[in-house]
Structure 1
């Protein structure tokens, strides 16, 4: 906590305190989730019923605010491998029990400048490179200083220096799955909005400076560009689109010497309640050696390449994901508001050697009850051809947030 307090103190003396009244806002976030995993090659099916509570307080005065938030995860049913305590009979459910400080930050916010110091969430773009991993109970935060600068309308610079990545593994994290991974991480992007969309140039220097975390082999430098936009076709139809390219190479203590590319193209048509989309995402390979393919260790990996989580670490030969989705939404069905259903299909292939890894079907239904409650049912079915094994996952989840 010493680096957090020092950075917060430095920010506090950067300007005069505002002589205004202090507004207090409580933070409450409750989640209960049932997750089952049936995986070929593992003796028993995993079953996890977890309860997650985040609670804290934000105090604000003028442009200044202080936020402190803790979190705890309890496994009411723990017939699963939590990633830390050896359990060869059950598949992995990455929600170990924990209790910890989730966020502790000091922030200054004005129209042109926001500076945040301390333990904080950092979410950049679509979370493909840096995210909060909010699907997992324990989430991901950073001990960091972040500056968001908007000198003119439409132009924004977002730069963070993070010296610790607080992982999803909680207080018992150990070995390759540590509670926190230290390193000198620099996360920067520069974006500009146009009539057609927003173009962003980014540089992510990720320093996984722990010998037990893949012997430094996840340290990388990625440089790229991203374009996102949307266009109204009519009163009832909208086309959204995105494209991205990046190149990655070894960084800092990484003993490997490699270069791999990333690219994405994606489009979604939203019309009369229907939503249809598709895309092609590639995390490239170099020479087919482990951990010399394009890696994204700080991403919210669950959002990409299927919910069965088979590709959180990119295989040595890379991965190509061709996907399509179809969904429909209702404004209300009885007491339920914002009801949506969605189906997604993925075909996974290697980036080199022409291997077909497998296919996956993902299904999702969500609904809101009142202002604070959201319910969801989610299912993933990965059918392996040459990579890993068949896996089926089911989630029943309820979230309540103040």
Structure 2
């Protein structure tokens, strides 16, 4: 009888322990979908026999999940893009008579990572998404259907109050060009860019804002236009913050400076500066923004006729220098971007919201030789439909001034309509 009681007691312990163990392992599904229409109307430099506009209807799906137990987690996510209407040059599909819409058909492992996470320390190993600061130097290029991820080891330390140390060593960038990267002569659009890259950020948060010092050492194996010119070392700082001026009135500010030079295998000897300054004023539902950005040029760069300029190959470039994407590669004479914008937010629209409407104007000129490249007008409306759905319409109009000053310098108009779903 005593033995039977002991057996029943052991059975009860096992029964209560099993649910506790099951509760300790959590699963979070990842399901995201995006349907987008993009059209591009671009004047030369297309072939003279072609007057085609690009029309792209693409669907992007991401699916996966994250298993977590205590401080440890494992995440795996697949990504695929389908071209429903492929009347466009994806950059790797060989349809050179159309303007480029860089959303190629692809299927890939987007992320697969192991992570250790506690309050003072996060360590992530594997293929991962990395967005640093405002993504001006390192980002995931989330605007494109196939995002950029990195094969990397990343450590984030927050063990000292108001201080964060963020260090990454990346051996490969998985680009937006997908599984067909490099095809049809697109050698400068590879599936992945291998190398030895170090991203280092140290930031301190105060009442006035966050001061960040950074160092980005980019050592790429793959050449660009027969030269390893994207291998570079960049050192700089960034300060960003906001301060209330009155009820429903807030001032925001941003200032950043960096110095870039050749590094590792880059045969081009150059030095160039980066400067940005921005002010924003929020008054109730309105926000006004004005700023200036410089990506400088070295006219004495060795081996490069016309000079060589500051480059940010791992940035989320669509966020900066206009949505028409005319300056994804900085021209040899550099860029000066003067810009101003206004945005209006409607917090609620029935059961939907917020709705945000914005307009931005850019004036682009060179750092050297006093070239006025052109002007650009950007407009966008976004609407949060419910907790899973959001919608967007967007327009960009780049108006070239004078003769073409760099590859792709042409009058360009783009329009997007998009629906996003996230679980």
The two structures have a TM-score, normalised by structure 2, of 0.89
Q: CA deviation at 1:355?
A: 0.6
Partner-residue secondary structure (3-state), 2:348: strand
Unaligned runs of 5+ in 1: 1-18
* Partner Cα distance (2:290, 2:256) in 1: 15
Number of residue-to-residue matches in the alignment: 385
Asked if 1:97 is matched to 2:105, the reply is yes
Of residues 64-73 and 36-45 in structure 1, the stretch that sits farther from structure 2 once superposed is 36-45
Matches within 5 A, 1:310-329: 310-329=326-345
User: Which residue is 1:368 aligned to?
Assistant: 384
Are 2:79 and 1:71 aligned? Answer: yes
Q: How does 1:299-310 map to 2 (within 5 A)?
A: 299-310=315-326
Measure the CA separation in 2 of the matches of 1:234 and 1:114: 38
Rounded to whole Å, the distance in 2 between the matches of 1:295 and 1:137 is: 23
Structure 1 residue 220 displacement after superposition: 0.5
Deviation at 1:273, TM superposition (A): 0.1
CA contact (8 A) 1:216 1:255 kept: yes
1:34 aligned to 2:46?
A: no
Q: Hey, what's the Cα distance between the residues in 2 that align with 1:384 and 1:145?
A: 42
* Alignment match, 1:168: 176
Are 2:102 and 1:116 aligned?
no
* Among candidates 226, 236, 240, match of residue 238 of structure 2: 226
Query: SS at the partner of 1:337?
Result: coil
* Residue 401 (structure 2) pairs with residue 389 (structure 1): no
Structure 2 stretches lacking a partner, 5+ long: 1-20
Structure 2 equivalent of residue 14 of structure 1: none
Instruction: Determine the C-alpha separation between the residues in 2 that align with 1:150 and 1:181.
Output: 30
TM-score by structure 1 length?
A: 0.94
1:178 aligns with 2:190: yes
Q: Does residue 282 of structure 2 align to residue 270 of structure 1?
A: yes
User: Which is greater in Rg?
Assistant: 2
Match of 2:143 in 1: 135
2:371 is aligned with 1:355: yes
Structure 1, residues 39-60: CA drift from partner, whole Å, max 9, x if none?
Answer: 0023200000000000001001
Aligned twin of 1:380: 396
Contact 1:176 1:214 in 2 (8 A): no
Q: CA deviation at 1:299?
A: 0.2
| Aligned partners of 1:217 and 1:291 also within 8 Å | no
Task: Report SS of the residue matched to 2:242.
Answer: strand
Q: Distance in 1 between matches of 2:315 and 2:215?
A: 14
Deviates more, 1:211-220 or 1:193-202: 211-220
SS at match of 2:265: coil
